[in-house]
Structure 1
Amino acid sequence: NPEHYTVFGKRYHVLKTARHYDKRGIASWYGTKFDGRLTSTRERYHLTDMTAASPELPIPCFVRVTNLENGRQIIVKVNDRGPFAANRIMDLSYVAAKKLGYTGKGTALVQVTSIDVKNPLEETRRNFAHHQPQLYLQVGAFAIANNASHLTLKLKHLTSRNVRVLHTGHLYRVQIGPLHSVSESDHLQAMISRDGLGHAITVIG
């Protein structure tokens, strides 16, 4: 695996190891258009294989993916690069997305967790307290409270959604939400970028 690569002018950094990887974000899926094409590991992508693409995980590796909206879990082999759309952390094969129950709407809020590569298919189901996840956009994180306040005022002129400031550790995090959908998140992110207010990232609570 290279340390980094560039797609559409954006540089992506590849993690040295998948160990201890545990991340929440938005997953999409890819289907018939890519069926039969070579993946980044030179394997063929097939709709019916339990595989996935990640922009940052070393490949190949195995991960557990949990749909936070319904509690369903699967294990997939990460053998491709992508997705390269903003605020997406994983592309799943059609059958993997179908098992997680989101092929109809295109995206899902997920948790991606690394597993033991020696026995990937023997991993036990991870239990967690299932609750409806909440989607936020984090627009900035500041060491100085006044900077967070200034950004908050600008965002309140941009959207009618709730804007909050979370003081965690030494940082004041400015977040918009909870949001109703991924499409609303994408729309807001585009507006924030257009107005030069920063680079928003997805946060799932």
Structure 2
Amino acid sequence: MIFRAFALIVLCLSFLGLVAGCASSPSSKGGSGGYYKDDGPGANIPKNLHAIPNATPRIERHAPANMRPYTVLGQSYTPLTNDQPFRQTGHASWYGKKFHGRKTANGETYDMYAMTAAHPTLPLPSYAKVTRPQSGQSVIVRINDRGPFHRSRIIDLSYVAAAKLGLIGPGSGTVIVEAITHDDIRNGRYLTDSNQKNTTGSVEAIPVENTPEPRLTTVDSRQTIPPPIPLSPIAGNGLPRIYLQFGAFRNAQSATELANHINQEVGQLDYHDAHIEPANELFRVQMGPYESRAEALTAAQLIETETGLKPSLAVR
């Protein structure tokens, strides 16, 4: 009897671990969230990570088993049972090597380098467009997992999807999640947004500075990231966009450390996040875009006064 009780407890705990998937406690990055505890980037990150294409929406049958209400960590969730329009704004996080190769709630194998995501209630499988309002950049992901099970998060992105939105460095950020319905797929409506295109664009720094590597406190090596794809221009106006540049490095680790340091120091001064922009074999640490040169100069002066960091202007 004791053995049977012990076996039952072990079985229940194993099942809870499978269902909770993305529900591990998040790591702390200055209170802003980030990847999950004991998680992080993989050891062999593909060099062409930024070139991985969006998921291609196709009509797939929603598995009935994934439509049942469920409870995780005391919170009940009711999945959407209809193929209907859905829009949600909130914080996104990401999950990486800790879950790489494990089974998703959909029964598939999680690949951190595939354009997928976890959502607590969207149908499995289904597709969604995820947009970062600060930059206007969007990606398309395939929803094949459940999570995140935190009240402050609405979606868990795969590592590559988060990288393409520039969310690896800050760890999390505000996004807009929009379901792509079967009707959208039939009519190709998800293709009409110019932000879906992966544009490269040129970078012109004013001036270009190879800033010395900063003297920083020890940074968790799991924060090493590849550069996200370049930000797309504002759709329709064709105007150059103005950024603050804090340094340019040949080493991605140095750029990552500086970006993390800036986000910790400047988080209360500016609503923009520092991100990494690759160009000409350099990893440029930039913040923006700003609406005008005057706004960028004002931000630069405030940052220098409060933190001692001295950014230059960059236009692309």
TM-score normalised by L of structure 1:
0.58
Give unpaired runs (5+ residues) of structure 2.
1-65, 196-233, 236-270, 273-316
Q: Write out per-residue CA displacement over residues 100-139 of structure 1, whole angstroms, 9 at most, x where no aligned residue.
A: 111111111000111244467962226799xxxxxxxxxx
Match 1:105 to one of 137, 149, 170: 170
Q: Does 1:62 align with 2:130?
A: no
Residue 45 of structure 1 deviates from its aligned partner by 0.6
Q: 1:14 to 1:126 in 2, by over 3 A?
A: farther
Which residue of the partner structure matches residue 160 of structure 1? none
Match 2:92 to one of 24, 27, 40: 27
Equivalent-residue separation in structure 2 for 1:79 and 1:18 (angstroms):
15
Which residue of the partner structure matches residue 125 of structure 1? 193
Equivalent-residue separation in structure 2 for 1:18 and 1:94 (angstroms):
27
Q: Is the 8 A contact 1:26 1:88 kept in 2?
A: yes
Q: Is the 8 A contact 1:62 1:75 kept in 2?
A: yes
Rg comparison, structure with higher value: 2
Which residue of the partner structure matches residue 17 of structure 1? 82
Q: Write out per-residue CA displacement over residues 41-61 of structure 1, whole angstroms, 9 at most, x where no aligned residue.
A: 111111110000001111100
Which residue of the partner structure matches residue 96 of structure 1? 161
Equivalent-residue separation in structure 2 for 1:13 and 1:73 (angstroms):
27
Q: Write out per-residue CA displacement over residues 40-83 of structure 1, whole angstroms, 9 at most, x where no aligned residue.
A: 11111111100000011111000100011211100000000000
Q: Is the 8 A contact 2:128 2:140 kept in 1?
A: yes
Q: Is the 8 A contact 2:93 2:156 kept in 1?
A: yes
Query: RCO higher in 1 or 2 (8 Å CA, sep ≥ 6)?
Result: 1
Which structure has the highest helix share of the two?
Answer: 2
Q: Is the 8 A contact 2:92 2:157 kept in 1?
A: yes
Residue 7 of structure 1 aligns to which amino acid in structure 2? V
Give unpaired runs (5+ residues) of structure 1.
130-179, 182-205
Equivalent-residue separation in structure 2 for 1:11 and 1:48 (angstroms):
30
Q: 1:75 to 1:126 in 2, by over 3 A?
A: same
How many residues are treated as equivalent by the alignment? 132
Secondary structure at 1:33's aligned position in 2? coil
TM-score normalised by L of structure 2:
0.39
Q: Does 1:38 align with 2:38?
A: no
Q: Is the 8 A contact 1:68 1:109 kept in 2?
A: yes
Which structure has the highest strand share of the two?
Answer: 1
Equivalent-residue separation in structure 2 for 1:71 and 1:96 (angstroms):
15
